[in-house]
Amino acid sequence: MEGLERLIELSLISGYVKDDTAPLSLILISYPETAKTSMILKFMCPHTIETTDLSAKPISDFVVPELRSDRLHHILIPDMTKMLAHRETTVKSTIGFLNALMEEGIKKNLFFGQSFEFDERKKCGLITAMTFDFYYKMFRKWYEIGFLTRFLPVSFKYSNQTVIDIHKTIMNNVIYDEIIKMKKIAKKHIKIPADIGDWISIKSQDIAEQQSNESIRIKVQSGKQKRIKMEVYGFRLHKQLRKLIKSIALSNKETVVTWKHIAEFKGLIDYIRMPKNPKVI
């Protein structure tokens, strides 16, 4: 589980990296009972909002004021099911709000008849989780508006040995409920040397090519099936991977990315997978 938890931690640290991109957004995708929700709930971090639901009122009452005072870099929704159970118009508006917030940012907006304006564009990351089935249920809508590619997708499943080990911990009444309390970090600019930047560029194109193999079959009005294929160029992913390596450097209290940071980076990007090819842990 260490790799998954480290990705959550680095996503939160990305909120303290000074550049013009939004903090990292992360989505954990797996079967039920794989501790997705509890992994997210383990983290307590300044400048975040944790909620099981998100709609017009909590956005107006909590999210907007925190954005206005520059006290928010991540929203944590451990399970998106409740948020997506609202009326279709509510869900559409909420996803539209998040869609803008997670990349280009929001400066002026009209949301459910309420207008608000900030002095500068506000950006924020989202960390959440869902099952494979729910992911495919939302795939077409979210892919068409670019919402899916705003996340680093982390798909995983348990090996037989991991399942056995977890059953043993239950049998022995071993409970892992440690809370990880993160401290506020001073925001810093992190430099990526040209040679490392070239390597990350190539790696982002490789991962984007793998993501482009993701597709689903849906029923159309005629009753026939149509294949929806994910086509990505990797530009958004490239920015996300640069943010990730900067977060690794910042977590080590360094302001220049080095090849020693790449060693950890290589292990972590193996978790960045689409649901058709989950990492076995």
14-67 pLDDT, tens digit per residue, is: 999 999 999 999 999 999 999 999 999 999 999 999 998 898 888 988 999 999
Strands (E), the chain: 26-30, 43-44, 48-50, 74-77, 106-111, 114-122, 125-131, 152-157, 180-181, 215-219, 225-229, 279-280
Q: What is the mean pLDDT of residues 220-247?
A: 86
Quote the number of domains for the chain. Answer: 1
Q: What is the CA radius of gyration of the chain?
A: 19
Do the domain assignments include residue 196? no
pLDDT for res 219: 64
Question: Model pTM?
Answer: 0.93
Q: Do the domain assignments include residue 255?
A: no
Element (H, E) at 12: helix 2-13
- Residue 169 maps to a domain: yes
Asked if residue 125 is part of any domain, the answer here is: yes
For 82-94, write each residue's pLDDT tens digit: 898 889 988 998 9
Residue with the larger pLDDT of the pair 22 and 218: 22
Is residue 224 in some structural domain?
A: no
Is residue 177's pLDDT more than 70?
no
Q: Which pLDDT does position 228 carry in this prediction?
A: 77
- Examine the pLDDT at 171 and tell me if it is beyond 80: yes
Q: Is 15 exposed, middle or buried (0-12, 13-18, 19+ CB in 10 A)?
A: buried
Containing structural domain, residue 98: 2-186+271-280
Of residues 80, 28, 10, 73, the one with CA closest to residue 265: 10
Q: Considering the domain boundaries, does residue 247 fall inside one? A: no
Residue 38 Cα to chain centre, angstroms: 15
Tell me if 38 is assigned to some domain. yes
**Domain CATH number, residue 67:** 3.40.50
How far are the Cα atoms of 13, 17, 201, 251 from residue 254, in angstroms, in the given order?
13, 11, 22, 7
Residue 264 included in any domain: no
